[in-house]
Amino acid sequence: MKTKLHIVLCFIVLGFGTAFAKDQSIAYIDMSYILKNLPQYEQANEQLTMLSKRWQKEIDAAQQEARVMATNYQTEQIFLSESMRQQREQEIVKKEQEVLELKRKYFGQDGELYKKREALIKPIQDEIYNAIQDLAGEKRIDLVKDRSADPSLIYMSSKLDVSDQVLQKLGAK
């Protein structure tokens, strides 16, 4: 008797679930495709790449300076007094710490690159989100998923992809 009741309840629950699923409208976007087709995103990426390269050159120069200091110390160590050796060792350690600090400053978790990326990319992401939200409202779409970020997505009908419509809302060609 309990088994029959469980089976009936399962069918009822499945019936309600499919009834609700039929009422939902789903669409997909390809965020990487959208971003690739936005000139302002490409410009922001170029700017971030240039900054990153410039900061990396600064770090590389400081690292090179630390290596030269260490090499010079190795060759001159025999001729230095104990106090001079300690002073030189401290200078080398200080220079290596400066390199680490530069790395943290530019590329750390809350570093300059992160802040710059946030300042340049976040407004573009917000603009995309607003365009998606507007499109979803107009077309009565209940759920929009990013297919580029969904590894479990195996197949999707091209009718469900609204990426080009989002780009049109953004004024991209």
Distance CA 28, CA 147 (A): 6
Confidence label for 150 from pLDDT (cuts 50, 70 and 90): confident
Q: What is the pLDDT of residue 154?
A: 78
Query: Is 88's pLDDT higher than 80?
Result: yes
- The closest of 117, 90, 86, 112 to 101, measured between CA atoms, is 112
Q: What is the pLDDT of residue 2?
A: 53
Q: Could you state, in order of their start, the residue ranges of all structural domains in the chain?
A: 25-169
- Mean per-residue pLDDT of the chain: 87
Q: What is the pLDDT of residue 5?
A: 45
Confidence label for 93 from pLDDT (cuts 50, 70 and 90): very high
Q: Is the pTM of this model over 0.85?
A: no
Query: Is 8's pLDDT higher than 90?
Result: no
pLDDT digits 0-9 by tens, 19-74: 454 567 899 999 999 999 999 999 999 999 999 999 999 999 999 999 999 999 99
